Amino acid sequence: MTDERSEGPPVSNDAARLGRDARDAIQPPAAAAFGRVWPTLLIYLVLPALLAVFLLRFVAAVTWMVSGSMAPALRADSGAVDGVFIDKLTPRLREPGRGEIVYFRSPTGEWVCKRVVGLPNEEVELKDGLVVVNGRAVVDHPALARIKYVNGGHLEPGTRVRIRPGNLLVLGDDSSDSWDSRYFGCVPAGEIAGLARAVIWPPSRIGWL
């Protein structure tokens, strides 16, 4: 008995390869699809997120005033709560100077802004509303000269504070409503997290400090 088989025309290698390519084009493998997508995800999602974390940790931040202790330079009243741009880079390069507004964690754990009035190795007192450093009133600094400070705490009338090396004496501009170095003492310069550089909100208050 003869075994008869029905066979079609032979398929060439080129035709078979074309068939596989066509199937791959219609239904690409998942791994291949992800391989094409992940560079885009890296560029548009992962890298910006990492950059934002780096900037907020080491370079800059934004804080919102929670009290009026720095008014009128920085406000936190019912009419306007200031959003403040904090420069975190400069304190890593140098110590803050007199008149600069520093950003640090207070002994109560709150992040606050206060103005530097006394530097390491100085003797500071408050007399007639003025800051007196080493026996001389500071009247040539535009930020300090326009502020009338209130005695209290460690800076009662006639009392001088000697600032230890590596420390800063800080006060609120509205010292009648400020908890500052008069009460919790000087702040180590190494604990200064940033410098307040500008008000960025609300729009009517935008400006450099």
C-alpha–C-alpha distance, residues 187 and 83, integer Å: 23
The CB-side HSE value for 89 (13 A sphere, CA atoms) comes to 7
Per-residue pLDDT, averaged over 139-164, amounts to: 94
Task: Answer whether residue 14 shows pLDDT above 80.
Answer: no
Q: Which of 88, 114, 178, 181 is catalytic?
A: 114
Cis peptide before 29 (omega within 30 of 0): no
Quote the CA–CA distance of 150 and 173 in Å, as a whole number: 10
Q: How far apart are CA 143 and CA 156, in angstroms?
A: 22
d(CA 88, CA 66): 20
pLDDT band at 33 (very low <50, low <70, confident <90, very high): low
pLDDT at residue 47, rounded to an integer: 66
Share of the chain above pLDDT 70, in %: 74
- Reply yes or no on whether 127 is catalytic: no
* 36-55: b (≥16 Cβ within 10 Å) or e: eeeeeeeeeeeeeeeeeeee
Conformational region of residue 95, where left means phi above 0, alpha means psi within -120 to 50, and beta covers everything else: beta
Kindly state the average pLDDT of the residues 176-201. 97
pLDDT average, residue stretch 182-195: 97
Q: Mean pLDDT score of the chain, rounded to an integer?
A: 84
Per-residue pLDDT tens digits for 56-87: 666 889 999 989 999 999 999 877 899 999 99
6 is catalytic: no
Tens of pLDDT, residue by residue over 78-115, are: 778 999 999 999 999 999 999 999 999 999 999 999 99
pLDDT at 53 over 70: no
Token digits of residue 168: 């800063």
* pTM for the whole structure: 0.76
> Which of 69, 175, 178, 181 is flagged as catalytic?
69
In the chain the domains, ranked by start, together with CATH numbers, are: 13-57 (no CATH), 65-208 (2.10.109.10)
Most confident listed range (2-6, 49-53, 138-142, 147-151)? 147-151
